Chain A
């Protein structure tokens, strides 16, 4: 079951490369939230109830429901539902993402150690690489936001890969992360979308020497 969820997670990451519609991005982020919830349930079954509820709240309520809801809201409000025309084409992006997958598997085996779960490690690393690729290959700020959320999911998976046992600190860090993400989404919804109508990074050029 766990392995199946990891495969689904990888598929969502690859799908990010070929899709060009923002609605699909938002749906994929929601799906990743559910997959992470499932993985967290299967991985953290031995921890206490309070912690389990916290993890589920973070994955299901926040990652799978609230964030996608805000993302769909942004799409509705701005009326922009496609990546920028000058973004890397689907085929090239797919090649890049598959290259990222090979690289992350290679790095994982290079770093192989008994202290980490290799499958988790490789997929988490792939998640981070995909997030970075989404940011650098796209021009619209929405894609960058989704890239950041994909990186956050990768980091979440990574914390499970290394099996960190510091519930209080990790929870505090996660809470702060949630706060920052909500602030970014809020800023996006209320300010950026209004001021920069095309949502393109081409408009963000007033800060220069």
Chain B
């Protein structure tokens, strides 16, 4: 089945690249996404375990994020078609191939069972993302591509140093398979483990969009076509997280685990602080949503740092965040087309001008605020509970203060979009697809449902990732 999926995917990608006709290229691209969705569902329902490919294992962690990507990617591509309808066939094909390349490389990250293989696929995501960011070929996209390639490459090189050091720390280990590392790590040199952890966290932060290298992701989202930003902010961020989480699980059985948790709390708080501060400063919706990603990933790191139920909450938070952020980015893409700009001070009165779109933004706002019934409420509540249970009062205080700032800024910005009078001279050049809006609503409804009911199988599935 794995080989079958791989062959179908590669053939679909090949024909997408070779098609001289826009329509045919889109059909093959959709065939790819259909294959990916079928494969992800098969893995979730019955296909977990070893594969014929020795460096990959189909486990719960990879399966959940693969399924999320398989759900989000076709929606992103569907919205991209409208975005690309005036572009030449060549650019259309490159964009389609870059999206497919990103999906394939993040899938490789999700299932890689070896730290070096994970690193290789993360490096591959840099190439696919760079192609997406450079799509418009403007001075701004060129600058963003250059910065993305440069900072990501430096970050990934730093992470590679960490992986090499980890291999040194685990004396007697013959490879970098995560299972081998888990077995060998208890006797490892703690100092090397700490340095390796720091290097890997720093390196992967450019993909996870957390402190310290979060800026590169924000710039990439800003310059990339907005539907592509939806995939970069979810699938790619998840890939960075999965790569890091596998190292975190290795550290969890070592004697430096408590130290690593403290580092994660610090990195999480700094990400939350950066997100909260820059949310207030920016005047662009795409950057705004990107800083929101930084803020949410900060919460995820804090969840990992507090441990206990916080780890479950972090995984749940990231899964829900993926659906929500994809929906919000796609909706903001519509806002951009509707007003002809992403500048906040040039938009307003959206709820009156386009009711379904305005309602979708409000729905997304409730989701991002983590108010019930948002799924984020559940995860943040669990993280709060763990902080109180472990008596981390200082952390709780700082966390609450920063979250207040985030909540205030989110309300102010999105309420402005929905209710503030429109700026004079604003034009609305294009009609909006209501079908597309309903797809965004479907994604956000899933977020709300996750906040109301957490089925037993989902809880068991996430718990399976912690093993």
**B-side contacts of A135, CB under 8 Å:** 154
Q: Which chain A residues (119-164) contact chain B, with CB distance < 8 Å?
A: 128, 135, 141, 144, 148, 151-152, 155, 158-159, 162, 164
Fill in one digit per residue for B210-235: 1 if any A CB lies within 8 Å of its CB, else 0: 00000000010011000000000000
B120 touching A113 by the CB < 8 A rule? no
Provide the bound-state CA to CA distance between A144 and B154, in Å. 11
Contact pick for B195, options A111, A141, A162, CB 8 Å: A111
Asked if B27 is an interface residue, CB under 8 A from chain A, the answer is: no
Asked if B127 is an interface residue, CB under 8 A from chain A, the answer is: yes
A207 touching B161 by the CB < 8 A rule? no
**B-side contacts of A184, CB under 8 Å:** 146, 149-150, 153
Asked if B60 is an interface residue, CB under 8 A from chain A, the answer is: no
A176 touching B120 by the CB < 8 A rule? yes
A113 touching B149 by the CB < 8 A rule? no
Provide the bound-state CA to CA distance between A179 and B120, in Å. 12
A177 touching B123 by the CB < 8 A rule? yes
Stretch of A59-67, A72-80, A165-173 that contacts chain B: A165-173
**B-side contacts of A172, CB under 8 Å:** 120
Provide the bound-state CA to CA distance between A15 and B191, in Å. 32
B146 touching A204 by the CB < 8 A rule? yes
**A-side contacts of B171, CB under 8 Å:** 115
**B-side contacts of A195, CB under 8 Å:** 139, 142
Contact pick for B222, options A152, A177, A207, CB 8 Å: A207
**What is the minimal beta-carbon distance from B232 to any residue of chain A, in angstroms?**
15
Q: Which chain B residues (139-159) contact chain A, with CB distance < 8 Å?
A: 139-140, 142-147, 149-150, 153-154, 157-158
Contact pick for B283, options A110, A148, A209, CB 8 Å: A209
The range of chain A's interface size is 35 or more
B142 touching A191 by the CB < 8 A rule? yes
**A-side contacts of B160, CB under 8 Å:** 155, 173
Asked if B174 is an interface residue, CB under 8 A from chain A, the answer is: yes
Fill in one digit per residue for B190-212: 1 if any A CB lies within 8 Å of its CB, else 0: 01100100000000000000000
**A-side contacts of B119, CB under 8 Å:** 173
Given A111-B191, A169-B116, answer yes or no on A207-B150 (Cβ-Cβ < 8 Å).
Answer: no
Provide the bound-state CA to CA distance between A20 and B191, in Å. 38
Contact pick for A187, options B126, B146, B164, B222, CB 8 Å: B146
A116 to B, closest residue via Cβ: B168
Contact pick for B146, options A162, A177, A192, CB 8 Å: A192
A183 touching B139 by the CB < 8 A rule? no
The range of chain B's interface size is 35 or more
A180 touching B149 by the CB < 8 A rule? yes
B130 touching A209 by the CB < 8 A rule? no
Asked if B189 is an interface residue, CB under 8 A from chain A, the answer is: yes
Provide the bound-state CA to CA distance between A13 and B233, in Å. 38
Asked if B287 is an interface residue, CB under 8 A from chain A, the answer is: yes
Interface centre among B127, B144, B146, B165 (most CB of A within 10 A): B146
**A-side contacts of B248, CB under 8 Å:** none
**A-side contacts of B222, CB under 8 Å:** 207
Asked if A86 is an interface residue, CB under 8 A from chain B, the answer is: no
**What is the minimal beta-carbon distance from A43 to any residue of chain B, in angstroms?**
15
Interface centre among B116, B168, B282 (most CB of A within 10 A): B168
**What is the minimal beta-carbon distance from A36 to any residue of chain B, in angstroms?**
15
**What is the minimal beta-carbon distance from A160 to any residue of chain B, in angstroms?**
10
Provide the bound-state CA to CA distance between A180 and B153, in Å. 8
**What is the minimal beta-carbon distance from A172 to any residue of chain B, in angstroms?**
6
Given A184-B149, A209-B278, answer yes or no on A155-B175 (Cβ-Cβ < 8 Å).
Answer: no
Provide the bound-state CA to CA distance between A195 and B139, in Å. 7
Given A113-B192, A204-B146, A209-B283, answer yes or no on A176-B123 (Cβ-Cβ < 8 Å).
Answer: yes
**A-side contacts of B158, CB under 8 Å:** 128
**What is the minimal beta-carbon distance from B94 to any residue of chain A, in angstroms?**
14
Contact pick for B139, options A115, A116, A151, A206, CB 8 Å: A206
A121 to B, closest residue via Cβ: B168
A135 to B, closest residue via Cβ: B154
**A-side contacts of B146, CB under 8 Å:** 141, 184, 187-188, 192, 204
**What is the minimal beta-carbon distance from A104 to any residue of chain B, in angstroms?**
13
B124 touching A176 by the CB < 8 A rule? yes
B161 touching A155 by the CB < 8 A rule? yes
A170 touching B281 by the CB < 8 A rule? no
B154 touching A180 by the CB < 8 A rule? no
Contact pick for B127, options A110, A152, A180, A204, CB 8 Å: A180
A151 to B, closest residue via Cβ: B157
B127 touching A113 by the CB < 8 A rule? no
Asked if B84 is an interface residue, CB under 8 A from chain A, the answer is: no
A162 touching B165 by the CB < 8 A rule? yes
A203 to B, closest residue via Cβ: B143
The 7 closest A-B pairs by CB, nearest first: A209-B282, A169-B116, A162-B168, A207-B219, A209-B281, A206-B140, A176-B123
9 A-B contacts, Cβ less than 8 Å apart? A113-B192, A115-B189, A141-B146, A158-B161, A162-B167, A180-B127, A181-B153, A207-B222, A209-B287
